Amino acid sequence: MRRITQVTEHRAHNTRPETSSAAADYFGRYKRETYQSIRTATVRENKELARLVKVWDRYLSIFKAMNKDKNRGAGVSIDHPELVLYRIASAVVGDISYPTKLIELFCLRDFQELLDIRKLEDNKFLLGAFLSALINAAKSSKFTLSTNHLDSSPDSLGTLNAKYLLISGDAGDFLGQLMQGGRILVTGNAGDWIGEGMEGGEIVIEKNVGSSAGAGMHGGRIVVNGNAGSELGVEMRGGEIIVKGDINEGFGYSMYGGTISIEGNYGSLPDHIEGGNIFHKGRQIVKDGKLV
């Protein structure tokens, strides 16, 4: 598939995020919880949040300028806008390490400004790409992001991830794209193309996923505790996908390596499998690309 080939090419332009041990809790510096210390922490946090929102606004202004150029015919067609927006977000965030609590607090905003630009092309990737850039630049290694309050589940969360992310709620498309390591746990559902091109780490979805999960993945592990859509593991080259529920047609198409395990029901096996192994309810039905 042309899309997966292009995503692989994007690896050359994306740097592997640095990992570090978990930083101390944001409020750990305040030894005594007096009224004054709590007030000082709150004021400082509000100022830092305001600065972070200004960075977000700068990022949005770049996105709007890109769309304006497109409308005038001066822009160019972008094959992978989610990765382009991630690069822009990374450039805007820079090497500033924002505290975990601040990033989590920023995620709790209502983001009404996104409603004003909802008709602009590729706007659905904005929030997830920005949060991914913030997390990858941060020194901390553990984050909890809530999505229950949002009108729609953000796409592109966990791009190039190498940390621990707990997503309370649903996640959109392209979750964990080009993931390097760490772990992403989603308490709700996830969209299409999760774990696309991932190289390591683990993605766990407590409910259902859309289509093309694990497409083009090279390593790592995806666990779906619910059902999965069509074309799971398409052009998969390594790693492991486990689906505890049912799976739609087209799974493992053009698969070159890796392992798919299905504990529920499936339709028909694809007619084009190059390699890899597929198990159904513990019984191997494809070995090294051949039907058993």
Q: What are the pLDDT tens digits along the chain (292 aa)?
A: 656 656 656 555 554 443 333 323 322 332 333 334 434 445 456 889 999 999 999 999 999 988 877 665 544 456 788 999 999 999 999 999 999 999 999 999 989 888 878 778 788 999 999 999 999 999 999 999 999 999 889 999 999 999 999 999 999 999 999 999 999 999 999 999 999 999 999 999 999 999 999 999 999 999 999 999 999 999 999 999 999 999 999 999 999 999 999 999 998 888 899 999 999 999 999 999 999 9
CATH number at residue 78: 2.160.20
**pLDDT tens digits for 220-276?**
999 999 999 999 999 999 999 999 999 999 999 999 999 999 999 998 888 899 999
* Sheet order of strands, 240-243 included: 142-146, 164-168, 183-186, 202-205, 221-224, 240-243, 259-262, 277-280, 283-287, 290-291
**pLDDT tens digits for 231-244?**
999 999 999 999 99
In a domain, 194, yes or no: yes
Domain count, the chain: 1
In a domain, 20, yes or no: no
In a domain, 42, yes or no: yes
Distance CA 260, CA 249 (A): 14
Distance CA 188, CA 224 (A): 11
Tokens matching residue 146 = 């809530």
In a domain, 98, yes or no: yes
In a domain, 31, yes or no: no
In a domain, 227, yes or no: yes
In a domain, 19, yes or no: no
Q: Which domain holds residue 47?
A: 2-12+36-291
pTM: 0.85
In a domain, 195, yes or no: yes
